[in-house]
Amino acid sequence: MAKNEKQSQTETKKIYIKSKKLFIPVSVKIYYEYYRPIWALRKKAQQHAQCLCPYKELWTCDGECAICEHRAPGDLRSLDYTFTNSIGVKTCLLDILESEDSEFESIIDNKLVAIEAWSYLSKAAPFILQVATFKTQGLTDKEIAKRLGIPRTTLLSKIKALRISLQEKFPELNIQ
Protein backbone atom coordinates (compact mmCIF):
# COMPACT_ATOMS: atom_id res chain seq x y z
CA MET A 1 0.00 0.00 0.00
CA ALA A 2 1.33 3.42 -0.92
CA LYS A 3 1.98 6.05 1.71
CA ASN A 4 -0.68 8.44 0.27
CA GLU A 5 -3.38 5.73 0.32
CA LYS A 6 -2.61 4.87 3.93
CA GLN A 7 -2.74 8.54 4.94
CA SER A 8 -6.10 9.12 3.20
CA GLN A 9 -7.65 6.17 5.07
CA THR A 10 -6.65 7.48 8.48
CA GLU A 11 -7.08 11.18 7.73
CA THR A 12 -10.23 12.81 9.09
CA LYS A 13 -11.97 16.04 8.25
CA LYS A 14 -14.66 17.98 10.07
CA ILE A 15 -18.18 18.77 8.94
CA TYR A 16 -19.80 21.83 10.47
CA ILE A 17 -23.47 21.47 11.38
CA LYS A 18 -24.73 25.05 11.38
CA SER A 19 -28.05 24.37 13.13
CA LYS A 20 -26.26 22.78 16.12
CA LYS A 21 -23.08 24.89 15.86
CA LEU A 22 -21.07 21.70 16.08
CA PHE A 23 -18.10 20.14 14.27
CA ILE A 24 -18.29 16.42 13.54
CA PRO A 25 -15.14 14.47 12.60
CA VAL A 26 -15.70 12.27 9.53
CA SER A 27 -13.67 10.38 6.97
CA VAL A 28 -12.42 12.18 3.87
CA LYS A 29 -14.90 10.26 1.71
CA ILE A 30 -17.92 11.32 3.79
CA TYR A 31 -16.58 14.88 3.96
CA TYR A 32 -16.54 15.19 0.17
CA GLU A 33 -19.90 13.43 -0.23
CA TYR A 34 -21.43 15.92 2.20
CA TYR A 35 -19.83 19.11 0.87
CA ARG A 36 -19.75 18.57 -2.93
CA PRO A 37 -23.48 19.28 -3.46
CA ILE A 38 -23.23 22.29 -1.15
CA TRP A 39 -20.22 23.63 -3.03
CA ALA A 40 -22.02 23.14 -6.37
CA LEU A 41 -25.10 24.94 -5.09
CA ARG A 42 -23.04 27.81 -3.68
CA LYS A 43 -21.08 28.13 -6.93
CA LYS A 44 -24.30 28.35 -8.94
CA ALA A 45 -25.70 30.95 -6.52
CA GLN A 46 -22.45 32.94 -6.79
CA GLN A 47 -22.66 32.86 -10.60
CA HIS A 48 -26.10 34.46 -10.32
CA ALA A 49 -24.86 36.97 -7.70
CA GLN A 50 -27.18 35.47 -5.08
CA CYS A 51 -24.51 34.27 -2.66
CA LEU A 52 -22.42 36.88 -0.88
CA CYS A 53 -20.87 34.55 1.70
CA PRO A 54 -17.56 36.04 2.89
CA TYR A 55 -14.56 33.88 2.05
CA LYS A 56 -13.64 33.52 5.73
CA GLU A 57 -17.11 32.10 6.50
CA LEU A 58 -17.47 29.60 3.63
CA TRP A 59 -17.03 26.76 6.12
CA THR A 60 -20.40 27.73 7.67
CA CYS A 61 -22.26 27.27 4.36
CA ASP A 62 -24.87 24.52 4.63
CA GLY A 63 -26.47 24.97 1.22
CA GLU A 64 -29.61 26.59 2.63
CA CYS A 65 -29.28 29.65 0.40
CA ALA A 66 -32.95 30.63 0.68
CA ILE A 67 -32.58 31.39 4.42
CA CYS A 68 -28.92 32.44 4.51
CA GLU A 69 -28.08 35.84 5.96
CA HIS A 70 -25.67 36.39 3.05
CA ARG A 71 -28.34 35.92 0.37
CA ALA A 72 -28.78 38.61 -2.28
CA PRO A 73 -31.40 38.99 -5.02
CA GLY A 74 -28.69 38.67 -7.66
CA ASP A 75 -29.90 38.67 -11.24
CA LEU A 76 -33.52 38.09 -10.24
CA ARG A 77 -35.71 41.11 -10.83
CA SER A 78 -39.10 42.11 -9.50
CA LEU A 79 -41.94 42.89 -11.88
CA ASP A 80 -41.63 46.61 -11.24
CA TYR A 81 -37.87 46.72 -12.00
CA THR A 82 -37.27 49.48 -14.58
CA PHE A 83 -34.83 48.84 -17.43
CA THR A 84 -33.96 50.31 -20.81
CA ASN A 85 -34.98 48.09 -23.72
CA SER A 86 -33.09 47.60 -27.01
CA ILE A 87 -34.52 50.76 -28.61
CA GLY A 88 -33.72 52.95 -25.61
CA VAL A 89 -37.17 53.15 -24.03
CA LYS A 90 -37.47 52.77 -20.28
CA THR A 91 -39.97 50.07 -19.36
CA CYS A 92 -40.74 47.51 -16.69
CA LEU A 93 -41.88 43.90 -16.76
CA LEU A 94 -45.37 44.88 -15.59
CA ASP A 95 -45.79 46.87 -18.81
CA ILE A 96 -45.10 43.88 -21.05
CA LEU A 97 -47.14 41.20 -19.26
CA GLU A 98 -49.76 39.68 -21.52
CA SER A 99 -52.73 40.45 -19.33
CA GLU A 100 -55.59 42.81 -19.81
CA ASP A 101 -56.00 45.31 -16.99
CA SER A 102 -59.76 45.27 -17.46
CA GLU A 103 -59.75 41.50 -16.91
CA PHE A 104 -57.93 41.92 -13.60
CA GLU A 105 -60.24 44.75 -12.55
CA SER A 106 -63.32 42.69 -13.41
CA ILE A 107 -62.04 39.81 -11.27
CA ILE A 108 -61.58 42.17 -8.32
CA ASP A 109 -64.97 43.77 -8.94
CA ASN A 110 -66.65 40.36 -9.11
CA LYS A 111 -64.98 39.30 -5.87
CA LEU A 112 -66.12 42.49 -4.12
CA VAL A 113 -69.68 42.00 -5.39
CA ALA A 114 -69.61 38.37 -4.27
CA ILE A 115 -68.43 39.40 -0.79
CA GLU A 116 -71.20 41.99 -0.63
CA ALA A 117 -73.76 39.41 -1.79
CA TRP A 118 -72.55 36.89 0.80
CA SER A 119 -72.82 39.54 3.50
CA TYR A 120 -76.37 40.35 2.33
CA LEU A 121 -77.29 36.65 2.37
CA SER A 122 -75.91 36.05 5.84
CA LYS A 123 -78.02 38.94 7.20
CA ALA A 124 -81.18 38.27 5.15
CA ALA A 125 -81.23 34.49 5.63
CA PRO A 126 -78.69 33.11 8.09
CA PHE A 127 -79.91 29.56 7.47
CA ILE A 128 -78.49 29.76 3.92
CA LEU A 129 -74.98 29.40 5.38
CA GLN A 130 -76.02 26.06 6.84
CA VAL A 131 -77.60 25.06 3.53
CA ALA A 132 -74.40 25.94 1.66
CA THR A 133 -72.34 23.91 4.13
CA PHE A 134 -74.64 20.91 3.75
CA LYS A 135 -74.54 21.24 -0.06
CA THR A 136 -70.72 21.17 -0.04
CA GLN A 137 -70.93 17.99 2.05
CA GLY A 138 -73.00 16.40 -0.74
CA LEU A 139 -76.34 16.26 1.04
CA THR A 140 -79.57 16.24 -0.99
CA ASP A 141 -82.33 18.84 -0.58
CA LYS A 142 -84.43 16.30 1.31
CA GLU A 143 -81.59 15.55 3.79
CA ILE A 144 -80.89 19.27 4.26
CA ALA A 145 -84.55 20.03 4.94
CA LYS A 146 -84.70 17.17 7.46
CA ARG A 147 -81.62 18.54 9.30
CA LEU A 148 -83.12 22.05 9.36
CA GLY A 149 -86.46 20.68 10.57
CA ILE A 150 -88.53 22.12 7.70
CA PRO A 151 -90.36 20.51 4.76
CA ARG A 152 -88.36 20.09 1.53
CA THR A 153 -90.79 22.30 -0.43
CA THR A 154 -90.41 25.10 2.12
CA LEU A 155 -86.62 24.89 1.79
CA LEU A 156 -86.85 25.03 -2.02
CA SER A 157 -89.24 28.01 -1.96
CA LYS A 158 -86.97 29.92 0.45
CA ILE A 159 -83.96 29.25 -1.79
CA LYS A 160 -85.95 30.39 -4.84
CA ALA A 161 -87.03 33.60 -3.10
CA LEU A 162 -83.42 34.32 -2.08
CA ARG A 163 -82.23 33.65 -5.64
CA ILE A 164 -84.77 36.16 -7.02
CA SER A 165 -83.78 38.70 -4.37
CA LEU A 166 -80.09 38.26 -5.23
CA GLN A 167 -80.78 38.60 -8.98
CA GLU A 168 -82.54 41.91 -8.36
CA LYS A 169 -79.99 43.29 -5.91
CA PHE A 170 -76.85 41.97 -7.71
CA PRO A 171 -77.59 41.63 -11.45
CA GLU A 172 -73.85 41.57 -12.30
CA LEU A 173 -73.48 38.15 -10.62
CA ASN A 174 -75.61 36.41 -13.27
CA ILE A 175 -77.28 34.14 -10.71
CA GLN A 176 -79.41 31.39 -12.23
User: What phi and psi values does residue 91 have, to the nearest 5 degrees?
Assistant: -150, 175
The per-residue pLDDT for range 4-52, each reduced to its tens digit, is: 555 555 788 988 888 888 888 999 998 899 889 888 888 888 887 778 8
H or E stretch covering 82: strand 82-84
| Domain residue ranges in the chain | 3-94, 101-173
CATH architecture of the region 101-173:
Orthogonal Bundle (1.10)
Helix (H) or strand (E) holding 153: helix 152-169
pTM passes above 0.85 = no
Q: Give the whole-angstrom CA distance, residue 121 versus residue 162.
A: 8
Q: State pLDDT tens for residues 118-152.
A: 788 878 888 887 888 888 888 899 998 998 899 99
Q: How far is CA 82 from CA 79, 91, 96, 168, in A?
A: 9, 6, 12, 46
Using alpha carbons, select from 42, 44, 66 the residue that is nearest to residue 54: 42
| 165 vs 162: CA distance, rounded Å | 5
Q: Which helix (H) or strand (E) holds 34?
A: helix 28-47
For residues 32 and 12, give the distance between their C-alpha atoms in angstroms, rounded to a whole number. 11
Q: What is the pLDDT of residue 97?
A: 64
Among 11-20, 60-69, 91-100, 167-176, which is the least confidently predicted range? Answer: 91-100
Strand partners, 14: 25
